Amino acid sequence: MESILLSLQDSWVAGIMFGWAWSWPIAETVHFFGMTILFGAIAITDLRLIGFLKKMPIKATHTLINIALIGFSLNLITGIMFFCGDPFRYAPNISFQIKMVLLLLAGLNALFFTFKLQPTWNEWDQYGNPPTIARVVGGVSLVMWIFIIIFGRLIPYLGTG
């Protein structure tokens, strides 16, 4: 594991992150905007799945999912840049580790929604309450993304180990 972290620390990405004084602040700003786009789109989608915002047809949230993917892509790119820039800070950090586990679980939840629930949208009342399983998936998603943001923000404060 240490050799992988050393390789990342010596990578061209780490060189970019520390080779120019503005690299890290610009990446932080892009990461924040990505998170805002991602969470805004997911929050509306999840709130609709839970049963709120009934004036919006459930199928309309599909557009928001595409917007969320843009935000996620920005966060993925900048997150990789952060990790490569300081792998020995991130890898042992408990907050980072919890965030990564929650990201994995949120991804599995999203895949379940996409492949099991979304194909049944035509059977749902577009302005009513979705089926119970969809409401649970939306609630779990919203809670996980809130905690992903919290644990991401705690990375500098919780330290390592």
pLDDT tens by residue, 140-149: 999 999 999 9
Looking at the structure of the chain, the number of domains it has is 1
Evaluate the CA torsion angle 128, 132, 138, 142 in order and state its sign.
Answer: positive
Report if pTM > 0.85.
yes
State yes or no: pLDDT of 61 exceeds 60. Answer: yes
In 3D space, the residue among 51, 68, 60 whose CA is nearest the CA of residue 110 turns out to be 68
Q: What is the pLDDT of residue 116?
A: 95
Please tell me the distance from the alpha carbon of residue 48 to that of residue 51, in angstroms, as a whole number: 5
When the pLDDT of each residue in the chain is averaged and rounded to a whole number, the result is 92
Please tell me the distance from the alpha carbon of residue 36 to that of residue 42, in angstroms, as a whole number: 10
Amino acid at 79: G
Query: Residue 116 has which token pair?
Result: 């099991």
- In whole angstroms, what separates CA 64 from the centre of its chain? 14
Please tell me the distance from the alpha carbon of residue 113 to that of residue 137, in angstroms, as a whole number: 7
Residue range(s) defining the domain that contains residue 133: 2-158
State yes or no: pLDDT of 84 exceeds 60. Answer: yes
CB–CB of 128/50 below 8 Å?
Answer: no
List Cβ neighbours of 38 (8 Å cut-off, separation of 6 or more): 68, 71, 72, 74, 75, 145
In 3D space, the residue among 123, 153, 142 whose CA is nearest the CA of residue 51 turns out to be 142
Which of the four pLDDT bands, split at 50, 70 and 90, describes residue 158?
confident
Which of the four pLDDT bands, split at 50, 70 and 90, describes residue 45?
very high
- DSSP at 131: P
State yes or no: pLDDT of 161 exceeds 60. Answer: no
- Reported as a single tens digit per residue, the pLDDT across 118-136 is 999 889 999 999 999 999 9
Please tell me the distance from the alpha carbon of residue 84 to that of residue 100, in angstroms, as a whole number: 15
